[in-house]
Structure formats: C-alpha cells, structure tokens
Structure 1
Amino acid sequence: MDAFYIFLLVGTILVLAAAFSSLIAFRFGAPLLLVFLSIGLIAGVDGLGIAFDNFSLAYMLGSLALAIILFDSGFGTSIHSFRVAAWPALTLASVGVLVTASIFAFAAMLLLDFTWLEGLLLGSIVGSTDAAAVFFLLRIGGINIRDQVRSTLEVESGTNDPMAIFLTIALVEVIASGEGFAGLDAQFLLLFVQQMALGVLFGFLGGMMIVWVLNRFTKDRSLAPIFVLALALLVFAFTGAIGGSGFLAVYVAGIYAGNRKMFARESIARFHAGLTWLAQIIMFIVLGLLATPSQFPSIALPAVGLALFLVFIARPLAVWLSLLPFQMTQQETGFVAWVGLRGAVSILLAIMPLLGGLENGLLFFNTAFIIVLVSLLLQGWTIKPMAQKLGLIIPPRHGEIDKVELDLPGKSTHELLSYRVMKDSPVMRGERIPRWAMPSLVIRDGRSMRYQYAGRLQEGDQLYLFVTPPYIRLLDRLFASRLPVESDDEDFFGAFAVSPSRPAKELDTAYGPGLLSPAEQNMTIAELMIHRLGGRAEYADRVRFGSVVLIVRDLDENNAILSVGVSLEPVEPATTLPVFINMREIAHRVRDGLRRYRGKATSASAPDGKPSD
C-alpha cells in the first residue's frame, strides 16, 4: 500500500504540474503538448530520477488515450466540415502518408545508414500528423482560417493515424521475418483494405449504437457521458479484435454520434472535452518518462537533419502532390504543408520496433522522439504567425459572444439558448429581437424576471430564449460585442463589392474574354461562385477569374451569398510559394502563356501577313 500511495502521489503531482503549466502556455503561446512532454522528460530517469521502461504498458496506455482523443475529435467535427474537406483530407491521410514515408526513407538511408525497408518504417512512424496537436492549435489557439482549410487539417489528423499504424505494424512484421521485399505481397494490400473497410463499417454501426442507446436507455443525465465513453471504447476494442482499424472506427463513430440529436449532448461534450485533456496529459507524460535524453546526443545531428527534411521537403512535396487536383490556393496548400505537427502518435508508433524485437529498435524510438521535439518546437510555435504571414487569417463575422446551449427533453424542434448581453452588442444598443425567437427569462443582478417585464436589456443580463436551429447564427450577431475589424476591410475582402445577383457574363466582359464556359455565361455571380466552389459557399471563400478574385463577404442563414467582394490582385502571385500551385492554376498559366505567345506572334506580323521591321 505504501508503494501504491507513492505511485499515486507522484502521478497526481505530474498531472497537476501539467495542468498548471497549461495556464502559462496559454499566456505565452507555447505549444502546450510540448510542455506536457517536457514535464515527462524532466521527471524521467535523466531528470528527477523516475525510472519507467515498460514499453508495452506505455503502448497500451497511449493507444487507449489516443482512442479517447480521436472519438472526441470526431464528436466535435460537424458533418458539413467533413463533407467540404473529405476528399482532400482523405487523400492526405492515405496517399500523403505513403508519399511522405517513401520520400523520407531516402533521407533515413543516407543519414542513418538504414536499409530501404528500415527507412520506410521510420517514415511511416513519423508520417502522420498528431490529432491532439492539430485540434488543440486550430480549435483553441485562436486561428480563424477558411472552413475548408481548417476542416481539411482536422479531418486529415483524425484519419491518417490508421494508415500510419497499419504501415508501421506491417513493416515491423516484414523486417522481423527477414523476408525483405518479398514480404510486401498482395496479402499486404488485402490486409490494409480489410482494416480500413472494417474500421469504417463498424465505426458507422458503432455510432448508430451509441445514439440509439443514449436516446432510449438513459434517464440520468450524469450517466450519459459514462455510457458514451464505454460504448466508444467498445467500438474501438471490438473492431481491433476482429482485424479492423479500431482507431478509424472510433473516429467514425464520433463523427456519426456528434452529428445526431442525442440526450444530454452538452453534458457529454463537456465531459469528453475534459477527459480528452486528461488523456493528452497522461499520454505525453508517460511517453516523456519513457525517453532517456542522455542517449540523444549520439544521434542528435542526423535526427535533427531528418526532422528538417521532413518539415521542409518530404511533407510539402507529399501535400502538394496530394492536393494537386483540389482548388486550394498556393498559400492554403503551403499552410497545410506547414501544419504537419508530429506528436504522441509518432512516439507511440516508435515503440513498435522495440516490441517487435528489431535490431535497431532503440534507434527508431530515439530518432522519432527527437523529430517530434523539433516539430513541436519549430512548427508548434509558428502556426499562427505562418497563417498571418500567408494572409489566411480571416476577419471574424462577429465579436466576442457568451452563449450556452441547453438540452431539452424529447425530440423538440427548438433549442434553448442562454446569451449574456455583451457591451456594445446590437441588442444592448436597442436592436429588437426577431419575432421568430421566443425570449422567456432574464436574470439581472441575481434576480429572475420574465422577459416582458425586464424592460430594455442591460450589459451583463443573462437572457434565455427558444429558437429553431437554423436561425442561431443570426442571434449570435445580435448578442456579440462590436467587431474589432470592419467587414469591408480591403486587405481581405477586396477593394469594392458587387451584387451577387448580377449576370456572370459581365465578369467575362470586364476581365476576359474567355474566363467563363458557355454554361457559366448564363449564371449569376452567386451561382457561378457556388458552381466553382463545388455546390456550397462559406464565409471568406475565394474564387479566381483571371486577374481578379471574388470573395464571399456575407451569407444568410441558408448559406445563400449576400455580398461579394472583388480584389484586383491574384489569389496567388507567381512569386509566392510557386511549388504549391494546383491543377487549375497550372491550366491557367499554360493558357495565359499560349495567349501571350499568340499575341507576340500576331504583333510581329504586318497586316498583309508579312513580318514587320
């Protein structure tokens, strides 16, 4: 019992240290997961002297924590975000990981004297981005970027782990067997298809099970999060036990459950948000304890060189090739390439060569650990500055807002919201609440009163009202503080605005000709933008037409375009990140080059067809 109390005391102190350090990290903008990892290193064998070398236990704890993180990541991903980013994200999660690992293998062969298969194994270990790091930086780090870009990064980080895990386990088995390339046969591909297919299938069925159970068998709100956690882990464990990807299954289950009407949804979301924090802290501390920093100097130079190769060459090339068919600007593709943070997943996978008994198992682990440290230091500190440098930070649609969504029993078509009246908000300045909203209660200075008798709303009032979900965004604007950025900011939204109902052929007349196809000539500007954007427009979306850019300035509650800005500067100047051009841009440049060539040929000829002097 004495040993148990000491173990519990030390573990609690480490978790508390990580939790308190997060407050400092928030204040100074430090990559929080690096702080957690550093606490584990400081407490480890070369620091305070805590000796922990149980790799099997670390792998099991890390896998469990990762399953919890992935479920919460999926639970917080809207189905719309998944739809707009599905194809680019899934391409990055599959082709991108494979290309990254393959390119990285050459550098590993050169710097560590690995064989090709060993280099490919190390590339697979560090080939996936870390879901915990990416979700934290994008959702909590205050980085407001275009929805498709943010969703692509989030969905990629949630879906590329199964690919990296499969490649790592398969390559460890191939190398351990001594079969070499002969081990990479058709069975290898069939096993991959089986794992991914079972992961998607049982993830979908598991999500349906979670929603069904929650809506029929839970009466106590406090039990609902426990049911969801247990069922999510059941999906993870069962899928893994029958040969599927449990990590993919639990992520898919999270997406399905998070986008359905569920009992005690807000309670579940808050519980899992806190649980995810705890899972991240425990996973990073345990992996930090597992490392032995005194072993790092002997491989520091090649490991840092590999980390820089991954950040500046392997990841950017893989991202560019993966996103080539999709309509992302050079800046957006460059940002996706930069947000390739490596984290706990890479360290977790680096345990596999040790568990598999490979000759260079410890070298794999230490190299991967250093690569993760460099990635968190280099990329973790610079995500927001990079987004600002590339001009991807979009102005917010409204200022600060304080809102709480409350659960209603049964299958109500309305939602109960609570807003705190912010300083300088439209409702405080006297703007009326629309008729379709049903305000019911005002709490002022600790006293409750009916809305009808509360008089004019005051700063700090807490207002409760019922509203149908499609109109919530309109209410957000009424209760938000004053915008710090004007909506007609020329730096982002263009020099002037045009009506989205104007004929699109006017663009061809003014900035063409030849910009639009015959079918597009008969569209309005709004219809043309939605057509070019794949059927749905989002706030701050951009569409290029030759030398002009159309920008979505505002949308209504049905996502119809209300205002369009026009910028006379290209979305991606030729001098900026030229390596990241997409297929459409390549086609534009080829067409522009042919036009210039024809123009020169025409000007070099006299009216009678003879060359001029």
Structure 2
Amino acid sequence: MIFNAENILLIGSILLFVSIVVSKTGYRFGIPTLLVFLLVGMLFGSDGLGLQFHDAGEAQFIGMMALSIILFSGGMDTKYSDIKPVLPQGILLSTFGVLLTTIFTGFFIYWISGFSNVSITMSLMTAMLLAATMSSTDSASVFNILRSQSMNLKHNLRPMLELESGSNDPMAYMLTIVLIQFITSAGMGADDILISFLIQFAVGGASGFLLGKLAVVIINKIDLKNQSLYPILLLSFIFFTFTMTDLCKGNGYLAVYIAGMMVGNARIVNRKEIATFMNGMTWLFQIIMFLSLGLLVNPHEMLSIAIPATLIGIFMIVLARPLSVLLCLLPFKKMNISSRLFISWVGLRGAVPIIFATYPVVADVPGSTQIFNIVFFITILSLVVQGTTISWMAKLLHLDTPLEKTGNDFGVEIPEEINTDLRDIVLTEEMLAKGDRLMDMNLPKGMLVMLVKRGNEFMIPNGSLQLHAGDKLLIISESKTK
C-alpha cells in the first residue's frame, strides 16, 4: 500500500494512535518513547504490514520541519542562569567533541573496511562522511529522555547535556554537507572549508539572535485579540528563521536554537498558552519524524551490515564518545570523573543522524544506501543500550538528585509580566504551634494567602479560618524570590 490523498489521513491517524498507545507500554519497561515510534514505523513499513514510503527527500523535509520545532522548543527551555556555569564545556562538546568523534570513528570505519570478513568497503572520505552523519548527540532523544523520566542531575549536568545536544547538530550538519561536496565534486580546498564553517556559524548565530529578539518584540507589541494566534505567530517565526538563515548560507539549526533561547529567556505575553502549544507540536513532530524514518528503512537490508554496524556502534559508545568527551573536558579540573563518565554515556543517537544520513542519499553519493542503513542500525543500538540505561547509570554514579518542584498544586498561574511569586506550602504542626487561625500565622509583609486546599476541598481564606496540619496554602508575594 502506498500513501495517496485518499488514505494518508486514515493511515496517519492509525499510526499516531498506535504509536501513542504502544509508547505507554514501552514506558513501563523503561524503553525510550522515541524508539517505540521508530519501531512502529518499521512494523508498518515495507518489510512489515506493507506501507510503501521510499522518498528520502520527503523524509528529509519532514525532519527539517521537526528539528526546527524541537530545537526551538529546547532553546525556549534553556535558561541562561542554568547554562552560564557550563557554557564553555557545552560549546567545546558541541564543536570539538563532534569533530573528534567524527575523526576517531571515521578512521575506525576505514580501518575495519579493509578486513575481508567485514561486509563494507569504503574510502577514507566516505568513512568520514558516515562518521559525520552520526557524530552529534540527538537533541530530540536527549530532551525526551531527560524530561520524560523527570531526571534531575547534580553538578549542572542536565543543562550541560541539553546545551550540547541542542547546539551540536549544526557542527554535524556542516561536516556532513562539506564532506558530500568534497566527494561529489573535484574537491574543496582547506580555505573553502574553513570559510564555509565560519559563514555557517556566524550567520546562523547572528540571525538566530536578531530574529529571536524581533520575535519577542512583535509578540509583546502586536496585541492580538485572539490569544490562540500567538503560538501560531511564533511557529511562523520558527520556519522563517530557519529558511531565511539557510538562504543567507547560515546554519538554520543553530539559528532556531538560539532564537528559542532569546524567546524563552525574555518576558512574553501568553507564555502559558505558547508553551503548551509548543510542547504539543514538539511531541507531534517527534512522532511524525520517527514514524517517517521507520517507514523509510527496509529492515532486511540491515542484515548485511549488522556486523560492521555493531562494531562501529560499540566503538562509538565505548571509545569514540568517551575519548572525545575526556579530551574536551581536560581544561576543567574541578569536574569529577563520575560526571565525565556520565556525559560520555549520554551520547544518544536518534532521528538527527538518520536525517543527516538522507543527505548522501539525496545527493546520490556512492554507497549512500549502505551509509543510511548503518546509521539506522546504530541509532537503534544506541537507543536500546544507552537510552534504556541513563537513569540507571545516573544512580550508579551517584549523580541523580530529586527533581525540583515547579509551579503549584493548585493549577493557578498569573501573567508573567506581573512581577510576583506564586507558590504553595504544606502546613505542619510546628507552623500552627502559636495558633491555628490564619491571623495567627504572622506572614511577612507583602505575602498573601489566596486559597486553602484541604483534601479535595478549596476554601477562600479569611483571618478567622481555622487551619489544620496538612492544609495547603497558595501564597502570592509582592516580588519574585530568587
């Protein structure tokens, strides 16, 4: 069966429904949700139930749209205060870490391709291209696993990992494009390669910063009567930022991530509605992207490359990634060995490497189908081996810590532009020692109790209200506490 205008909505709705239902079961067994989506796509694909989807160009387009939204959303959730202490480490990992991983893995691939019992034969440049496509950690996988498992980590490791995964795709993308150009043309000089890198970074960074600032100004000034249009307005900015940056020869992935940071760290109107919309869009496009990539692959073709792909995957997990991380983090003497080992382990591959592996296919690079199948195999291996053991590894290295509470249990929010703090507290016997009425609590000046929750009952407070241990108070204060 092939996709057409008559059945695409029916098939698409079934795929979405099955993916979401199956992901619930996978979550119980600690299987990464995104891996489940990938497997569902494979199950319904050409070697499974027979859905035919073989257009790498369409999959690449879906991937670009999805990554734009995922990276922008990840940027919105990245707070300056969190990444400031780990900014140098994150930048080194997302640039030199990617380059070192490419070099180490590329030489390993070239080395094993010379053995007669390994079913691949590649030139050095083709081996480097294969390594480049999977040299970055996958932002969708890292964001999803860290957040879906409600993981909190010591030593600022979580913001460091999210910063790295959100900002290292541009480096892998540029390496992939440059190597494709080198292979398919007469070759590029060192000066051309360097200039291409500088333009991609400079234009991508500048356009992301400027367009992100512009988005904040327009969102706050446009005064739309229908609040539901604000998230859609922001969505148009995401795609505009990516495409305009790409037209200007910059890196669109870097631009949307930085633009997301600009928006996420600024005061904007209707933040709650925008955040809810972006969260839903991120999940939708993650599912669509992984399903599409699962449908695109022909599983039977991976059997012939299973042995070399397994060797490459193990090398990346055990040697290439750890060695790259340890070299990048050498200047940071205060970072303990447990943190370095954990960062090395969270080298997740996911949709991004598979999408980058479609570029050689579209460019008709010799051996591109083999490259795609190897990358797909290694992605599954990484999600199974690393994705299912991240929380276990954090506990083993004593790096896990309870997740800090955000928001309040009352489900009440106030506009961000109002400079107040809204939080809840649970009363104890000690708090009620001087009296069990609200007037006896002697709250600090500028602090008011808005609601009282007792079990499932909500009460409007007044001074004579008798309080009990276990009551929850929703408190608003004049200014935000830091």
Using structure 1 for the length normalisation, give the TM-score.
Answer: 0.72
> Separation in 1 of the partners of 2:432 and 2:299?
57
Which consecutive unaligned segments of at least 5 residues does structure 1 have?
471-556, 558-613
Amino acid at match of 2:346: V
Amino acid at match of 1:463: L
CA distance 1:399–1:427, change in 2 (3 Å): farther
- 1:381 and 2:382 aligned: no
Q: Which residue of 2 aligns with 1:167?
A: 175
Is the 1:405–1:418 contact (alpha carbons within 8 Å) kept by the matching residues of 2? no
Please report how far the alpha carbon of residue 461 of structure 1 lies from its aligned counterpart in structure 2 after TM superposition: 5.2
- 1:293 and 2:299 aligned: yes
> Separation in 1 of the partners of 2:196 and 2:122?
26
Is the 2:408–2:423 contact (alpha carbons within 8 Å) kept by the matching residues of 1? no
* Higher relative contact order structure (alpha carbons within 8 Å, sequence separation ≥ 6): 2
Please report how far the alpha carbon of residue 207 of structure 1 lies from its aligned counterpart in structure 2 after TM superposition: 1.2
Q: Which residue of 1 aligns with 2:414?
A: 407
Amino acid at match of 2:255: A
Please report how far the alpha carbon of residue 138 of structure 1 lies from its aligned counterpart in structure 2 after TM superposition: 1.6
> Separation in 1 of the partners of 2:310 and 2:353?
15
Q: Which residue of 1 aligns with 2:57?
A: 56
- 1:239 and 2:245 aligned: yes
Q: Which residue of 2 aligns with 1:463?
A: 474
The aligned runs of 1:310-349 (5 Å cut-off) are 310-326=316-332, 327-349=334-356
Q: Which residue of 1 aligns with 2:33?
A: 32
Is the 2:447–2:475 contact (alpha carbons within 8 Å) kept by the matching residues of 1? no
The farther-off stretch of 37-46 and 454-463 is 454-463
Is the 1:43–1:49 contact (alpha carbons within 8 Å) kept by the matching residues of 2? yes
Residue 402 of structure 1 aligns to a residue whose secondary structure is coil
Please report how far the alpha carbon of residue 426 of structure 1 lies from its aligned counterpart in structure 2 after TM superposition: 8.2
Residue 450 of structure 2 aligns to a residue whose secondary structure is strand
- 1:306 and 2:312 aligned: yes
Q: Which residue of 1 aligns with 2:141?
A: 133
The farther-off stretch of 291-300 and 142-151 is 142-151
CA distance 1:117–1:438, change in 2 (3 Å): same
> Separation in 1 of the partners of 2:457 and 2:409?
17
Please report how far the alpha carbon of residue 128 of structure 1 lies from its aligned counterpart in structure 2 after TM superposition: 0.2
CA distance 1:400–1:261, change in 2 (3 Å): closer
Residue 440 of structure 1 aligns to a residue whose secondary structure is strand
Amino acid at match of 1:102: I
Pick from 199, 202, 207 the counterpart of residue 197 of structure 1. Answer: 202
> Separation in 2 of the partners of 1:399 and 1:408?
16
The farther-off stretch of 165-174 and 131-140 is 131-140
- 1:114 and 2:119 aligned: no
Q: Deviation digits for residues 219-245 of structure 1, max 9, x if unmatched?
A: 432221111111122111111111111
> Separation in 1 of the partners of 2:430 and 2:93?
43
> Separation in 1 of the partners of 2:430 and 2:141?
36
Residue 351 of structure 1 aligns to a residue whose secondary structure is helix
Q: Deviation digits for residues 430-450 of structure 1, max 9, x if unmatched?
A: 777544422234466566524
> Separation in 2 of the partners of 1:96 and 1:454?
60
Q: How many residues align?
A: 464
Please report how far the alpha carbon of residue 151 of structure 1 lies from its aligned counterpart in structure 2 after TM superposition: 1.2
Amino acid at match of 2:398: G
Amino acid at match of 1:91: L
> Separation in 1 of the partners of 2:361 and 2:432?
63
- 1:353 and 2:364 aligned: no
Amino acid at match of 2:123: T
Is the 1:70–1:251 contact (alpha carbons within 8 Å) kept by the matching residues of 2? yes
Is the 1:403–1:418 contact (alpha carbons within 8 Å) kept by the matching residues of 2? no
CA distance 1:397–1:36, change in 2 (3 Å): closer
CA distance 1:133–1:225, change in 2 (3 Å): same
Is the 2:76–2:260 contact (alpha carbons within 8 Å) kept by the matching residues of 1? yes
Using structure 2 for the length normalisation, give the TM-score.
Answer: 0.90
The aligned runs of 1:159-558 (5 Å cut-off) are 159-179=167-187, 183-219=188-224, 220-326=226-332, 327-395=334-402, 402=409, 404=411, 406-408=413-415, 411-415=417-421, 417=422, 419=424, 433-442=443-452, 449-452=460-463, 454-456=465-467, 459=470, 463=474, 465-470=476-481, 557=482
> Separation in 2 of the partners of 1:77 and 1:143?
15
CA distance 1:437–1:362, change in 2 (3 Å): same
Q: Deviation digits for residues 481-525 of structure 1, max 9, x if unmatched?
A: xxxxxxxxxxxxxxxxxxxxxxxxxxxxxxxxxxxxxxxxxxxxx
Is the 1:316–1:334 contact (alpha carbons within 8 Å) kept by the matching residues of 2? yes
Residue 379 of structure 1 aligns to a residue whose secondary structure is helix
Please report how far the alpha carbon of residue 463 of structure 1 lies from its aligned counterpart in structure 2 after TM superposition: 2.9
Which consecutive unaligned segments of at least 5 residues does structure 2 have?
113-119
Residue 153 of structure 2 aligns to a residue whose secondary structure is coil
> Separation in 2 of the partners of 1:74 and 1:117?
33
Higher alpha-carbon Rg: 1
CA RMSD of the aligned region, Å? 2.5
> Separation in 1 of the partners of 2:322 and 2:404?
31
CA distance 1:211–1:378, change in 2 (3 Å): same
